[in-house]
Structure 1
């Protein structure tokens, strides 16, 4: 993350970050190798595929970056609001993601459907006070930053930070209970370890991780149809395993790469199923009978496939400009320079003076231009008149 902050948002801060990692010219570059040269022109950034950047950062460097950000409110706000990134203290990597329009549209549709079903269950059980209270306290909580201790890191104060794609959290819980991640080609191999970190490093406070792997392939040039890849769902929950003479707590994958849409766009049989036990704190669930703890939300794979297809169609319309547009404004007001809202009265007055001076300068320049233009026109007119008189005099002399 440090190189990104140092180059991308440098104008927002004068913070000078020093890195503890020694520089060794003999060490191979941590950046990926440059692609082979090609005479074909390519887009620098694809609006279809989600972008991902991975950089090495030691735990002490990461902690220092966080401390430096605390001293720069503008830069801190930019990072918190605009950059979705994970930091893994064990692997010592920062992973910066920029999800695509397809990923964002798809995960939003899935979350809305799950929440709609939870609300329906809440209304259906309004007479059951305890159950209704638990159901009514479940919220969709977006993509919050989650800070976890890392049990596998060498340093005791090392922290792991995650930015999940979507979460569900109960009003009375400290942490989200359900995390949803949409994966793509660069991230797919990381999902099992990511799920393990969510569940184990949260000490089972995160109770369910849903991975939706949607392989999106680029359109062929001038082709109307997308070439979609296989889309699968995986689910992880807390579990136990025998290890020698002990029973140990583990993160267990209970659904493994279950296909909900084939590569040729056909939806498959099955459903994405969650239970109330996934969403609510165990202390609250202990007051309910087992049948109520196992109340389900269920999204058929046909519906998941429809959500994905709609997200892809929206992307195609955006790229082609084929959707509806509002009529352009007939006479839009020109943008005016406005002072920063945080300017003091004195600085605001100076800002107004500068704005007025610029306006006068522009007006004077326009006046000078008009004067010069009029002088040029007058000169051209006088020259044409003199030329005409010379021609008339020449004709008269010749005839005489």
Structure 2
């Protein structure tokens, strides 16, 4: 993803992957008091990133994924195009779920229980250390979860160049570390350099047998399927298909009929969503659009400002 950086252990950061060049090379914004334990260089760099963001020097929103077992921090700073495109997809899935919920059918009650979690944090079990379960923190671009399920059944990630190379590993983590509770990881790659091409990949849990041993794996059932061509035209196929069954675990689906009802989004719809997001980003970049004008002779009264709270050393730590 453009503007996404990754911190692994203590090696030097690629500052250009996270925030404007030079931001992490500067001296710490506020040295810790002498009585506090000094932060490691990696932790101080991360703390500086969030301080710069709060001070307004980093324009994009900040979300992050953290894997304590691998000392890995991924900072996500999505742009308007990313957020708007994802919001359009979420809106369409939610609209179709609502239609199912309003029908007098056996699956209506199930559909009512599915909720959109936006970018809510997901705690995914990793390894057990000293008898204690360690969890990774993930903040997907969007997810849908049945109210009685622990994990989302459907996760959506919008991919740029960096993230598109990493999302297959994310799919493994989402699906394998939840024992297949995540039924679909949808990745939409909208960063095809030099063309307008965009594609979709959908990973699902699949059991296979190798040398007599059954294994769970994340399989790309739909792989890099274009929904927009190099020239910017929609492809012919329906790009995304999800069933109601995808939104919950096998336990919650067991005994319920008609959960094969399908939610679908065509390539043309995805193209329209992406074009809308691109147009909005252009408008924001060029500062276009209608605004109100201040009445002649009127001034502005602002509230008195108080100093912002400081980030503590504890908040800056990576574990």
What is the SS of the residue equivalent to 2:161? coil
2:254 aligned to 283, 286, 290, which one? Answer: 286
Structure 2: gaps of 5 or more residues:
1-8, 22-38, 55-60, 310-319
Distance 2:92 2:130 in 1: 41
Q: What is the CA-CA distance between 1:154 and the residue it aligns to? A: 11
Cα displacement string for residues 21-70 of structure 1 (whole angstroms, at most 9, x for unaligned residues): 7x8xxxxx5323889xxxxxxx958xxxxxxxxxxxxxxx99xx8xxx9x
Cα distance in 2 between the residues matched to 1:33 and 1:333? 39
CA apart distance, 1:159: 2.6
* Distance change in 2, residues 1:154/1:334 (3 Å): same
State whether residues 117 and 143 of structure 2, in contact with CA within 8 Å, keep that contact through their aligned partners in structure 1.
Answer: yes
| Partner SS for 2:230 | coil
Q: How does 1:296-315 map to 2 (within 5 A)?
A: 296-315=262-281
The answer as to 2:14 corresponding to 1:32 is yes
The 5 Å alignment of 1:43-54 reads 44=20
Q: What's the CA shift for 1:280?
A: 2.5
Query: Does 2:184 align with 1:208?
Result: yes
5 Å matches for 1:243-322? 243-271=210-238, 272-289=240-257, 292-322=258-288
CA distance in 2, matches of 1:190, 1:153: 25
1:93 aligns with 2:48: no
- 1:58 aligned residue: none
Aligned to 2:6: none
Aligned to 1:141: 117
Change (3 A) 1:150 1:245: same
Structure number with the bigger relative contact order (C-alpha 8 A, sep ≥ 6) is 2
Match among 98, 103, 108 for residue 87 of structure 2: 108
- The aligned residue for residue 304 of structure 2 is 337
CA distance in 1, matches of 2:209, 2:124: 26
Q: Cα offset for 1:333?
A: 2.9
Equivalences, count: 266
Counterpart secondary structure, 2:302: coil
Q: CA deviation at 1:155?
A: 9.3
User: Which structure 2 residues correspond to residues 223-242 of structure 1 after superposition, within 5 A?
Assistant: 229-242=196-209
Cα distance in structure 1, aligned partners of 2:295 and 2:192: 37
Is 1:196 aligned with 2:172?
Answer: yes
SS of 1:205 mapped into structure 2: coil
SS at match of 1:284: helix
- Cα distance in 2, alignment partners of residues 149 and 268 from structure 1: 38
The structure with more strand, counted as a fraction of residues: 2
Query: Residues of 2 paired with 1:151 and 1:245: CA distance?
Result: 26
Cα separation, 1, equivalents of 2:233 and 2:306 = 56
- Among 153, 160, 171, the alignment partner of 1:184 is 160
Please, which moves more after superposition, 101-110 or 321-330? Answer: 321-330
More helix by share: 1
Q: Which has the larger radius of gyration?
A: 1
Structure 1 stretches lacking a partner, 5+ long: 1-20, 24-28, 36-42, 46-60, 70-74, 218-226, 343-400
User: What SS does structure 2 have at the residue aligned with 1:187?
Assistant: helix
State the superposition RMSD in angstroms.
Answer: 3.3
The alignment's TM-score, normalised by the length of structure 2, stands at: 0.74
TM-score, normalised with respect to structure 1:
0.60
The 2-side partners of 1:172 and 1:304 are apart by 30
Helix, strand or coil at the partner of 2:111 = helix
3-state secondary structure, aligned to 1:192: helix
